[in-house]
Amino acid sequence: MPIPVEDPLQSETKLLESDLTNEILAAAIEVHRVLGPGLLESVYEQCMCRELKLRNVPYECQVPLPLIYKGDRVEAGFRIDLLVSDQVVVEIKAVEKLLPVHDAQLLTYLKLTKRRVGLLINFNVPLLKEGIRRRVL
């Protein structure tokens, strides 16, 4: 029986995404530790940008996301909160409870951007680990 061989490029990609999401989550934990829950989403987003910059993690903030419908570009007003290292979509929330619509939004953004990994982070929780969801397509 042949021994399964792991594709080194696939492993490297998984590791990179894992390392990157860990760095993003460490930044989010620091923001939450300093600010706590109860602020507006825009405040957490600005502080996440500052924290990622301090950690030398490349990111883009409020990235416009056009929709292509039947070959035509439709400006639907979609914006990604953070696109980190051109790989991970981060959707920031400050809500009482994450709902299925929040997961659907992140998954839609992943599909539209053709990215595989996304993080949904709700800062309005006592412990940040209760507000984190990682999704992979």
Q: Give tens-digit pLDDT for 33-72.
A: 999 999 999 999 999 999 999 999 999 999 999 888 898 8
CA distance 3 to 17: 26
CA distance 29 to 31: 5
CA distance 34 to 84: 21
What percent of the chain is helix, strand and coil (3-state, nearest 5)?
Answer: 45, 30, 25
Q: What is the pTM of this model?
A: 0.85
In the chain, what are the domain boundaries? 8-136
Q: Looking up tokens 């920031």, which residue turns up? A: 92
Q: Give tens-digit pLDDT for 73-94.
A: 888 788 999 999 999 999 999 9
Residues 76 and 106 sit within 8 Å (Cβ to Cβ): no
Look at residue 3 and tell me whether its pLDDT is greater than 70: no
